[in-house]
Amino acid sequence: MLRLQEIREERNILQKDLANRLDKTRACISSWETGKTEPDIESLIKIADILDISLDYLLGRSDDGGIIKIDTQLSGEQKELLELFGKMSTKNRNQLLGFAKALVV
């Protein structure tokens, strides 16, 4: 099951904006989201890159939210922050980054 619509909406991305980034039409994106057609592998890879998710999550093969697990020496707070960041929309990520940068200055 392709999770494109669900993820796109979570990140506040319009069909037409995703279509522009993929050099496709809005109707093409709609067709993928309704299951009438399926994207080719090149488009799937581009979608995963644009939405910052894994292909497995996009294709419904994984339920981990597409978050890449970090196995380095991070504190519990750092890991929690990364997990929360991975669940945010692009808009909220940008707001959080701006806020964090303001705190550091």
Euclidean distance between CA atoms 42 and 57, whole angstroms: 16
- Amino acid letter, residue 24: K
The mean pLDDT of 16-22, rounded to a whole number, is 95
Q: Amino acid letter at 47?
A: I
68 falls in which pLDDT band (50, 70, 90)? low
Cα 24 to Cα 84: distance, rounded to the nearest angstrom: 31
DSSP E strands, 1-105? none
Per-domain boundaries in the chain: 4-58, 67-105
Is the pLDDT reported for residue 66 higher than 60? no
Fold of the domain spanning 4-58 = 434 Repressor (Amino-terminal Domain) (1.10.260)
pLDDT tier for residue 67 given thresholds of 50, 70 and 90: low
pLDDT, position 19: 96
> Nearest 5°: CA angle at 60, between 2 and 43?
45
Answer for the pair 8, 15: CB distance below 8 angstroms, yes or no.
yes
User: What pTM does this model have?
Assistant: 0.61
What pLDDT is attached to residue 74?
76
The pLDDT of residue 49 = 87
pLDDT for res 65: 61
Burial of 98 (0-12, 13-18, 19+ CB in 10 A): exposed
